[in-house]
Every structure is written in C-alpha cells, then in structure tokens.
Amino acid sequence: MKAKTKFVCTACGYEVPKWMGKCPGCNAWNTLEEEIIRTERKSAGSAPAASATPLRLSSVDTSDQQRFSCGIRELDRVLGGGIVRGSLILVGGDPGIGKSTLLLQLAGHLDKQASLLYVSGEESEKQLKLRADRLQEKEAEYLVLTETDITVIRAAVESVKPDVLIIDSIQTMYHPDVSSAPGSVSQVREVTLSLMRYAKETGTAIFIVGHVTKDGAIAGPKVLEHMVDSVLYFEGERNHSYRVLRAVKNRFGSTNEIGVFEMTGAGLREVENPSSMLLEGRPDSAPGSAVVCTMEGTRPVLAEIQALLCTSSFGVPRRMATGIDYNRVNLMIAVLEKRVGLNLQNQDAYVNIVGGIRLDEPAVDLALALSIASAFRSTPIDSHLAAIGEIGLTGELRAVSQMERRLAEVEKLGFKACLIPQANVKNLQIPKGLRILPAQNITEALGFVL
C-alpha cells in the first residue's frame, strides 16, 4: 500500500493534504514539504500509562516546583526569576548570534548542586573544551556529549539524570523512526516531543537551541513555539557587540523582560546598566539627536534617537527607519507637517536608534518628533534634556505609564530636564535635581527646545 503523505509548511507548520505552491497559512511560496503520516506514534515515546486518574488540583504537590538560579542574572530575569524544574525552554536566534556561547556560560555558572549535561550536535568535545577555555570558566565540571540521535541521547540522559539538559541545536537532532532529514518539520517536532515528555516526567529543565533561518529551508523555531514552556529570542545586529535576550512566550513569568549582554573576546558579559551603554559616545549638541526613556519590562532604559533629513532629489522622498517602526516615523512626519507646519514633504528622512535596540513603545513618539524637527531646523536639542510622551493625530501629547520610574532613570543618568505630557503631571513625584517641562501638544513641546 502506498504510504499516506501530507504537506507541511516549513515556515508556519500549516498542513494540507495536497501540494500547493503557496501556503494558505502564511502565504509563503514554495515552503510546503512532503511528509509521511505515521499512524503508529507509540514508538516515539514510552508506553501509555495503564490508567489515568484525574487529580484534585489543590492536592497537587508543588513543593519541588521551585526555581533555581542559573547564575547569570540577566538570564534569570528573562526566565522570570530563574529556571523552573521540568520546563522546556527554546532559545532561538540567527546563526552566530551567540546562543551556544550563552548556554555554555550558563553551564559554567550553574550552581555546583545542580548537575548539567550539554549535548552538542554541532561541535566536537575538543571544540567545546576550547570554547569553554576561551570563556574563562574556572572549572568545567559539567558533562558534555556529542550526539545527534535522540534515542541515544535519551538513554544517556536517563543514566546521568542531570537537573539541566542543553540540546544544541534542535536542527541537528533526529529520531531514527522518522525518515525525513534532520531539520525537517517532522524531525524537529518528534525530537521536541520526546524531550517534552522527558522534561515533564522527570522534572529536568531542558534548553533547546533553535536556529532561525530566513529562507525557511530548515524548520525554524516557529513550529515549536506552542510545544515549549518558554521561548527566548537572542537578538542583535551582527556588527554591534550588544545582544538582547527577549522572552516572547513564558508560561512561568512575564514576557516583557529583556536581558542585555555584550559579546566580548571572552564570551558574553552582562550589561547591568543598558542606559549608559546605549548613550555612550552620544554627540554633544548635534542636530537630530534626542533621548527617550522607554520601559523594557520592569526596567527603564534610555535610548538615543537620531534623525537625518535632506532635500530629496526625486519626486517621492526616501524614508528609512532602523530600530523603530517605519510607519510610526511616517506618522510623526505627517503630524509635524500638518500640526506644526514644518515643510517636510520634499525631505528624505533617515531615523536610527543607536546601539541596535528596538523601540516599540508609543512613549517614544515625542523624542522621535523632536529629533526629526531638530534635524530639519539644524538646531541641536540641549544634551541634558530627555523627552517622554505619546503623540496623537491632532498633535496632542498623551500620558504614558510608569512615568515616575522613567524620570528616576533620567535623573540617575545625569539629565537636568525632561519634557513630559501635561496629563502626566498630576500627583507626580519628581526626582530632586530634575526640571520637568510639561506640554499639552507637540507645538508647545517644540517651543521649549528649538
């Protein structure tokens, strides 16, 4: 009998019975890949339990569910306060961004009481040792294994019973029962499923490394997101040394927290004060530069927005935005044109957030508008002034949340004044030494600085 097959999108995991050129799920072209439907799924895991008894939730013992610190503060923070036993954590990111480095450092920092096994399908033991030496880990006491067959790995794991297991990377692992190549959707799913069962049965915390690829040739971590407890993405610009670890899903904590690292010659270094790192080397009294305080989770972070404007030589002006939403930039240009009367329609505009971070919050609007206006008028903004506020379509300044924490950070970094929305002023605790400039709308705000 002919084996039954289905077609699975390598980009989003959508399944269809017949081949199609375009995936109905994510509209990507040529991403559907044939897979054999296996009716017997037992072979992949342990035999089914003889009986299943529902439990009263209140009687479930959670005393052994506590977290433990992984020894790297920034990583603990992103995980929501440490590693939860039995959790499955996906660490995704572009190849070469530093995932293996981060997890090898985790292995070196983990408390002596917790045992760890690092399984690599990408490097030999020698290479791992060389890398650990480069990271200047004092004594690499953890166990390593180079293997790609998940059944062999499981047998090894069951004999050493580590508290933490690291699988680097999911795309190199395979299950011998699945015929498709390592890295295909079905392999990646099957291996993850096997790891998930093991994590839940034994309370082992498992980190899975997943490379993100643009072309969709290898099943990206997207297809795994629903299977794991936490999804962390390691991001950064290749030519910047700063790396940001972000949680996009976390069953055991908030998804707003970020961890900031710097890639150095001896591995990743934690950055305790991202604000001073992002403001390092800021030009003094240069037109087009403005400073904002954005909230990254519970942490206020100062960032510099830079804008450059010049007269366009074509009919349609060029607009470019790095680190900030392109449409937001266009919107602010429209507001400045219509509500303030700046003649920007024949101006090319380039906006950049310094340091390779991304600003997604509406509270950055005011600083964005100020940087554009300052670039247009070739007038610098006082370098001791920061600006916080959302701008509406009529040019009004709207209140933003957590103003006090933001102001405290602004003051801490040595700023003397801060522009804020009038609506935020009521009952506001203002840090000593900081002058507050409240404004109703963008025109008023511009009056203060330019």
Positions that interact with ligand TYD (CB under 6 A) = 93, 95-101, 131, 134-135, 263, 265-267
Name the pairing type of β-strands 5-9 and 32-36: antiparallel
Least separation, in Å, of the C-beta of 183 and Mg ion?
14
| 16 or 135: CB nearest ligand TYD | 135
Least separation, in Å, of the C-beta of 167 and Mg ion?
11
Q: Residue 134 touches which of ligand TYD, Mg ion, none (CB < 5 to 8 A by kind)?
A: ligand TYD
Q: How far apart are CA 370 and CA 336, in angstroms?
A: 9
Residue count of the chain, please give it.
450
| 44 or 106: CB nearest ligand TYD | 106
Least separation, in Å, of the C-beta of 246 and ligand TYD?
15
The C-alpha angle with vertex 308 and arms to 364 and 396, in degrees rounded to 5, equals: 35
Q: For Mg ion, how many residues bind (rule: CB under 5 A)?
A: 1
| 100 or 230: CB nearest Mg ion | 100
| 178 or 268: CB nearest Mg ion | 268
List binders of Mg ion among 87-126 (CB under 5 A): 100
Counting Cβ atoms within 10 Å, is residue 123 exposed (0-12), middle (13-18) or buried (19+)?
middle
Least separation, in Å, of the C-beta of 112 and ligand TYD?
23
Q: Residue 421 touches which of ligand TYD, Mg ion, none (CB < 5 to 8 A by kind)?
A: none
Q: Residue 129 touches which of Mg ion, ligand TYD, none (CB < 5 to 8 A by kind)?
A: none
Least separation, in Å, of the C-beta of 147 and ligand TYD?
17
| 98 or 438: CB nearest ligand TYD | 98
Q: How far apart are CA 338 and CA 164, in angstroms?
A: 57
| 26 or 145: CB nearest Mg ion | 145
Name the pairing type of β-strands 230-235 and 205-211: unpaired
Least separation, in Å, of the C-beta of 287 and ligand TYD?
35
Least separation, in Å, of the C-beta of 10 and ligand TYD?
20
Least separation, in Å, of the C-beta of 195 and ligand TYD?
18
- Omega prior to 51 cis, within 30 of 0: no
Q: Residue 380 touches which of Mg ion, ligand TYD, none (CB < 5 to 8 A by kind)?
A: none
Q: Residue 4 touches which of Mg ion, ligand TYD, none (CB < 5 to 8 A by kind)?
A: none
Q: Residue 299 touches which of Mg ion, ligand TYD, none (CB < 5 to 8 A by kind)?
A: none
| 127 or 394: CB nearest Mg ion | 127
Q: How many CA atoms lie within 13 A of 424 on its CB side?
A: 28
Least separation, in Å, of the C-beta of 204 and ligand TYD?
22
Residue window 48-87: x/- pattern of binding to Mg ion, with contact defined by CB under 5 A: ----------------------------------------
Q: Residue 263 touches which of ligand TYD, Mg ion, none (CB < 5 to 8 A by kind)?
A: ligand TYD
Q: Residue 191 touches which of Mg ion, ligand TYD, none (CB < 5 to 8 A by kind)?
A: none
Q: Residue 95 touches which of Mg ion, ligand TYD, none (CB < 5 to 8 A by kind)?
A: ligand TYD
| 100 or 374: CB nearest Mg ion | 100
Residue nearest to Mg ion (CB): 100
| 13 or 108: CB nearest ligand TYD | 108
Counting Cβ atoms within 10 Å, is residue 252 exposed (0-12), middle (13-18) or buried (19+)?
middle
CB 398 within 8 A of CB 391: yes
Q: Residue 267 touches which of Mg ion, ligand TYD, none (CB < 5 to 8 A by kind)?
A: ligand TYD
Confirm or reject binding of residue 172 to Mg ion (CB under 5 A).
Answer: no
Least separation, in Å, of the C-beta of 107 and ligand TYD?
12
| 210 or 287: CB nearest ligand TYD | 210
Query: By the criterion CB under 5 A, which residues form the site for Mg ion?
Result: 100
